[in-house]
Amino acid sequence: MLIGAVADDITGATDLCLMLSREGMRTIQVIGVPGDDMEFSGADAVVVALKSRTIPASEAVDMSLASARVLLAAGAEQLIFKYCSTFDSTDAGNIGPVAEALQDLTGTPVTIACPSFPAAGRTVYKGHLFVGDRLLSESPLKDHPLTPMRDPDLVRVLQRQCSRPVGLVQADIISRGPEALKAAFAEQYATGKRILVVDTLTDADLRIIGKACAGMKLVTGGSGVAMGLPENFRQTKEFTPPAKTARMASPPGRAAILAGSCSAATRGQIEVAEAAGLPVLRLDIAAIAQGRQTAADLADWAIHSAGDQPPLIYSSAGPDELAKIQSVMGRHESGALVERTLADVALRLKDAGFSRFLIAGGETSGAIVEALGVKVLLIGPEIDPGVPWTRSISGPDLALALKSGNFGAKDFFLKAWDLLEMETEDA
Ligand SMILES: Nc1ncnc2c1ncn2[C@@H]1O[C@H](COP(=O)(O)OP(=O)(O)O)[C@@H](O)[C@H]1O
Ligand SMILES: O=C(O)[C@@H](O)C(=O)COP(=O)(O)O
């Protein structure tokens, strides 16, 4: 293993796996803290998917350290701590505390914080995070159900979570190339800075950053930070990127879409799917709380839905409705109830023979995949930037597309299936 990674949610982990495999690394995704005896043979990169983005910081630190220790013991030469390209976190953590703990574990004197993912419209300029043309704080992420992002200045945001000084490396230095960037890292270190937010506007910047991070034991960021890292290992190894047109074999069985993301992108994708005639049913959280709607009702509806189109069950709500629900039921309590219900639905569908799932939302995907008992994923073809098909190779045999709430084109729920090739029953 050359690169080991710890990701704070599962859609983030598949996003990172996709990036590493596009650069030619044989990459596998492991769900949850791996056991000491886990075998990674044949993998150039291993990404551990945690569900640690919104849990208490001390628990996130413990899980991340335990995962990192296994990866390092298995030979990982470089560690990535992967978090969201929109820096989803609270003032209490968990990005800062986990980054500092991993820095100590790996003995990395100075590391970077690089959430940028230009292909998905996330860029950083003068330390400020942009989502498309808007500052983070003016983007739909300001209304995220669990981690509303209201401050676009990442140095300020990260400093609130860190015990050590946070610095900034600006775009003009990056454009001067890897050597100038390395010199900037050293200068910032000399002034006491220990974790450096790096501006990034383009993929070319990411490749420069990747070169400058050769030999840096720990790097932190979004999936973009991994774009330029495999190149540093090419002297030791040849990597062959997969063909872009490849389709993925999927086990036989029915397909369903489960959406627990409340992002603007996911809500738009639901609208398009409904307009295209997909059977659609809304999870009504108040009815669930009062027992008027159950996971069994939702699953039965999907099982009995007519036609060839995959049924879509969603809980997604807009910011005003969400605020009302959260004021009555609590932010985390309502989120957890939706996650539990969708996980229960998924389990019932799997037991009824569904084998292909498209799931929208990071926390949602984490809850569902855990309930399904999925342990290891192989990465398949890219549907849209940051979202590949995956196939479970340990636990139940399933095809899974785990979509970050914010990712994907408007017709994502319609077109994703075209990249699957269904195996026959006796295959
Ligand atoms: N109607 C709803 N009321 C309250 N919480 C909800 C509702 N729908 C979804 N949620 C919660 O919102 C959170 C969305 O987070 P996540 O699944 O990570 O999506 P994203 O990828 O957009 O961040 C989940 O915890 C989910 O259970
Ligand atoms: O970096 C990203 O934006 C994604 O990889 C990611 O972390 C997804 O998180 P969710 O939006 O919570 O799915």
* CA angle, residues 313, 8, 132, in degrees to nearest 5: 70
Tokens of 404: 């970050």
pLDDT mean across residues, the chain = 95
Decide which of 207, 233, 259 is a domain's last residue: 233
Kindly state whether residues 279 and 200 are assigned to the same domain. Answer: no
Given the structure tokens 């929109």, which residue do they identify?
A: 86
What's residue 145's pLDDT? 87
What's residue 242's pLDDT? 73
How far is 92 from 114, CA to CA, in rounded Å? 20
Q: Is residue 177 part of a domain?
A: yes
Kindly state whether residues 138 and 35 are assigned to the same domain. Answer: yes
Decide which of 233, 268, 284 is a domain's last residue: 233
Per residue in 216-235, pLDDT (tens digit) is 999 999 999 999 999 999 87
Kindly state whether residues 208 and 286 are assigned to the same domain. Answer: no
Region label for 198, one of left (φ > 0), alpha (ψ between -120 and 50) or beta (otherwise):
beta
Q: What is the DSSP string of 218-244?
A: EEEESGGGGTTSGGGGTTT----PPPT
Kindly state whether residues 222 and 186 are assigned to the same domain. Answer: yes
Atom of ligand 2 minimally distant from the CA of 120: 3
Q: Is residue 238 part of a domain?
A: no
Could you tell me if the CB of 339 is within 6 A of ligand 1?
Answer: yes
Kindly state whether residues 346 and 406 are assigned to the same domain. Answer: yes
Q: Is residue 170 part of a domain?
A: yes
How far is 182 from 208, CA to CA, in rounded Å? 10
What's residue 239's pLDDT? 79
What's residue 424's pLDDT? 82
What's residue 167's pLDDT? 98
Kindly state whether residues 56 and 121 are assigned to the same domain. Answer: yes
Those residues of the chain that have pLDDT short of 70 are 244-245, 426-427
| Preceding amide of 406 cis, omega within 30 | no
Q: Give whole-number Cα distances, 356 to 173, 308, 400, in Å.
A: 46, 13, 6
Q: Is residue 240 part of a domain?
A: no
Per residue in 115-151, pLDDT (tens digit) is 999 999 999 999 999 999 999 999 999 998 889 999 9
Interface predicted TM-score (ipTM):
0.98
CATH number assigned to the domain comprising residue 227: 3.40.50.10840
**Total number of domains constituting the chain:** 2
Could you tell me if the CB of 316 is within 6 A of ligand 2?
Answer: no
Atom of ligand 1 minimally distant from the CA of 317: 1
CATH number assigned to the domain comprising residue 367: 3.40.980.20
Could you tell me if the CB of 18 is within 6 A of ligand 2?
Answer: no
Kindly state whether residues 206 and 307 are assigned to the same domain. Answer: no
Containing structural domain, residue 298 = 248-422
Kindly state whether residues 227 and 255 are assigned to the same domain. Answer: no
How far is 108 from 324, CA to CA, in rounded Å? 45
| 218: phi then psi, degrees, rounded to nearest 5 | -125, 130
Kindly state whether residues 201 and 255 are assigned to the same domain. Answer: no
Q: Which of 29, 88, 90 for mutating ligand 2's site (highest number of atoms within 8 Å of CB)?
A: 88
How far is 84 from 99, CA to CA, in rounded Å? 13
